[in-house]
A and B are shown apart, each in its own frame.
Chain A
Amino acid sequence: MIRCEQLKVTFNPGLPSEKKALRGIDLEIPQGEFVTVIGSNGAGKSTLLNAVAGDIPASGGRILFGDKDVTKTPATGRTKEVARVFQDPLAGTCASMTIEENMALAYGRGSRGKLSFALNDKLRKIFREQLSRLNLGLENRLDAEMGLLSGGQRQSVSLLMSALQPSSILLLDEHTAALDPKTAALIMDISAQIIAGKQLTVMMVTHSMRQALDFGSRTLMLHEGKIVFDLAGEDRSNYEISDLLELFAKARGSDEALDDDKLLLGS
């Protein structure tokens, strides 16, 4: 489970370009809960995910995984618990390496097997099994270069990679944003499958209000580095997108017009 206590992240402290990206986030996500995170651009959604992953150091406050305080642990130290899928399909994979090599890398996450061979037939069998779930024919193209695959295919493999090693937390950072609607739907399907199968604690950032309500059991909205509301259970299941928009405007102060097209169009 994830707990944030007064988590603060400030970029360029003390300089003219100082930006307070997170202004004190208090958050507790029990093990196995699937949380969607929404908010306008610059609200701090990605920063929150990056802070949980350890890519960005916290400027104040604490982050805990269960009882363990990981505030000072660097990203590489948190990989036993945390798996990520990035928005950019290229960012989550090595384009110049093959599918099997990428998967072998992900397979080694959390345990660096040092000088044993990274690939063998046993592993290839496991990878093929996983890939066949995607129904994309990739199980026959293990030695294809990652860079030759389409965005959707890459993202699918990234998803599988995130699940190759047990983790307790899965961070999805707008991972369908760069894909066409059909592929996006496929990816979400697979995501849901994987999450259900493994009882993961999930934080998913999305720009799509539809996704935010259809998936998971809890929705957070961030605005200017703070959580402005937190929907769960009965309240949430009765919410429509229009309700969400109203709530959004209310929280931000009605003088701020909603100018975020993506939020409106994300249905």
Chain B
Amino acid sequence: MSLFSFLGTLEIGLIFGLVAMGVYLTFRVLDFPDLTVDGSFTLGAAVAATLIVSGVNAYPATFAGCLAGAAAGVVTAWLNLRFNILHLLASILTMTALYTINLRVMGKPNLALITDPTVLTPFEGLGLANIYLKPIFVGVWVIVVGVLFALFLKTQYGLAMRAVGANKRMAQANGIVVKEKVYVGLALSNGLVALAGALFAQTNGFADSTMGIGTIVVGLAAVIVGETLLSSRKMLMIIFSCIVGSILYRLAMGFALNADFLGFNASDLNLITALLVGLALVLPQLRKEWKAKQAAIKANGGDA
């Protein structure tokens, strides 16, 4: 893999690190399976791109994209809390509706941003080549957001949110208003994912109505890979592992793309990615079993 390819993969991996954080918040912290992200990723991109193309400055446009994503999260939470619709189904409803809403927002299925100013524009032409500027810029954003997110989860409010997902009854017995935490949690999660979408559109030059399909799968894979390889109780480490998991997933896909020398076809991409990610998940387990076996042999040898 060449340096440029690696940097490109790193950049996309970092952006999806935000998605992984959002998915971590809903799936793990709140115990609320949320498929809205397939729609809110695109919504963030659509809103930001539409505003940028109509002349709005890229920064407020990106922020607007986040707010739109947060609103989508609130809708899912509302469907679940007000009407008792199963969380998974509520999120599917929102995701499905968003598909049309995104088309309406953009006015057409594909909106190009190649020549428009983006959040990167103030930093371009300062001497750093784009291939380095993009990943560094994205990296800084993602790390700052990640640190803030980790700190948030360590506050009383964040702890309360974690309790809601861990033991609702106990949370209520301790004065925590469950509904409020769910609304805020889903808004925050989808806001993060929408931010990722807005960043992606600006660093890759387009917002496309189909770009969000499969986001939940990528997010989950990143969270799980991160958890498996870097398990920790410390909040900062957990958030870091989400980002690392996302990067590793993209790297796996990057290697799959380069695998033609092994005799694979272009259409084998998904299978190879799955195999690589599966390997990442299985290796620690195998290692654990091997270690246990070694320990058992030692113990028996010692007795004899």
Contacts and interface: CB of A to CB of B under 8 A. Distances in A.
Chain A–chain B contact at Cβ < 8 A = yes
Interface of A: 53, 55, 75-76, 79-80, 84, 86, 90-98, 101, 104-106, 108-119, 143, 145
Contact of B170 (A80, A92, A118): A92
A108 B173 CA distance: 11
**Chain B interface, DSSP helix/strand/loop, else mixed:** helix
B163 interface: yes
Interface residues of B, number: 23
Contact of B174 (A97, A108, A116): A108
Contacts of A93: 167, 170
B286 to A, nearest CB: 25
A114 B155 contact: yes
B217 to A, nearest CB: 24
Given A106-B174, A108-B174, A108-B175, A114 B157 contact: yes
A110 B156 CA distance: 12
Q: Do most interface residues of chain A lie in helix, strand or loop, or is the interface mixed?
A: loop
Given A105-B163, A118-B156, A112 B169 contact: no
A5 to B, nearest CB: 24
Given A94-B163, A95-B166, A143-B233, A115 B172 contact: no
A117 to B, nearest CB: 6
A91 B170 contact: yes
Contacts of A76: 172, 175-178
Interface in B251-285: none
B175 A115 contact: no
A214 to B, nearest CB: 27
Contacts of A105: 159-160, 163, 170-171, 174, 176
> Which A-B residue pairs are the 10 nearest by beta carbons?
A79-B175, A94-B166, A113-B156, A118-B159, A109-B174, A109-B175, A94-B167, A118-B156, A115-B155, A108-B156
Contacts of A115: 152, 155-157
A108 B166 contact: no
Given A105-B160, A109-B175, 13 more contacts: A53-B173, A75-B172, A90-B167, A94-B166, A98-B233, A105-B159, A105-B170, A108-B160, A108-B175, A110-B175, A113-B156, A115-B152, A117-B155
A11 B176 CA distance: 25
B162 interface: yes
7 contacts: A76-B178, A80-B175, A97-B162, A115-B156, A115-B157, A117-B155, A143-B233
B166 A112 contact: no
B158 A79 contact: no
A91 B172 CA distance: 11
Nearest to B166: A94
A118 B166 CA distance: 16
Given A91-B170, A119-B154, A143-B233, A101 B175 contact: no
Interface in B148-196: 152, 154-160, 162-163, 166-167, 169-178
Nearest to A113: B156
A114 B159 CA distance: 10
A242 to B, nearest CB: 37
B183 to A, nearest CB: 15
Contacts of B177: 76
A97 B163 contact: yes
B218 to A, nearest CB: 25
A53 B155 CA distance: 27
| Interface core residue of A94, A97, A104, A105 (most chain B CB under 10 Å) | A105
B173 A112 contact: no
Given A105-B159, A112-B157, A143-B233, A91 B167 contact: yes
A94 B170 contact: yes
B156 A116 contact: yes
